[in-house]
A and B are shown apart, each in its own frame.
Chain A
Amino acid sequence: DQQVKQNSPSLSVQEGRISILNCDYTNSMFDYFLWYKKYPAEGPTFLISISSIKDKNEDGRFTVFLNKSAKHLSLHIVPSQPGDSAVYFCAASAQRGSEKLVFGKGTKLTVNP
């Protein structure tokens, strides 16, 4: 039973364009969502998060949008840079500060120069 789904295993965009990574969840108890970035042979690095009381959170080139009614969130990267090429994981928890994160399978983003 996959509670957090990233249906696109991969995404390829041109440098300077927008990258949009999508994530769907099924558990209505989730109220805190995070995006992690992972390079090969490294651990995940926290990127950005959003609480369920918000519908948007922005940090520099990264913006996360949350649509609670659709149980959908997305990560926008504008403008995309080659250094953004990595696997991006969506994660959720049932309570801010919960020690247990539920991860999606990841989307591999490739930004072409």
Chain B
Amino acid sequence: NAGVMQNPRHLVRRRGQEARLRCSPMKGHSHVYWYRQLPEEGLKFMVYLQKENIIDESGMPKERFSAEFPKEGPSILRIQQVVRGDSAAYFCASSPRLGTGTEAFFGQGTRLTVV
């Protein structure tokens, strides 16, 4: 059983470009969470999604950031018009059912570098 798969592992974007980060949850998991880790910081919650629904996006920046988890395919975190401050590690986690976000399994992360 493969774990949470994130790709790409490393992503370099120029300022103003778009970044797309993908997350495939563990088999049988229908709940996905995105966290961001800035340099020298802990992980910060961004968004919680179920299939085709955004449940909690209280940690998402108001502009340029969006997330989706379609019925088919991976969850996508999209960052439009990236700026240097978006450089961070972005982690996805998944869990099998509601109420188990605290026992979610994390992917290896995508390290975004904005140049």
Cβ-based interface call for B59 (8 A): yes
Q: CB distance B56 to A44 under 8 Å?
A: no
A35 CB to nearest B CB, Å? 12
B42 CB to nearest A CB, Å? 3
A51 CB to nearest B CB, Å? 10
B interface with A by C-beta (< 8 Å): 4, 6, 31, 33, 35, 40-45, 48, 55-56, 58-59, 91, 93, 98-103, 105-109
Q: CB distance B102 to A43 under 8 Å?
A: no
What 3 A-B pairs come out closest when comparing CB atoms? A97-B99, A43-B106, A103-B42
Which size class do A's interface residues fall under?
A: 20 to 34
A6 CB to nearest B CB, Å? 8
Cβ-based interface call for A100 (8 A): yes
Cβ-based interface call for A53 (8 A): no
Q: CB distance A42 to B108 under 8 Å?
A: yes
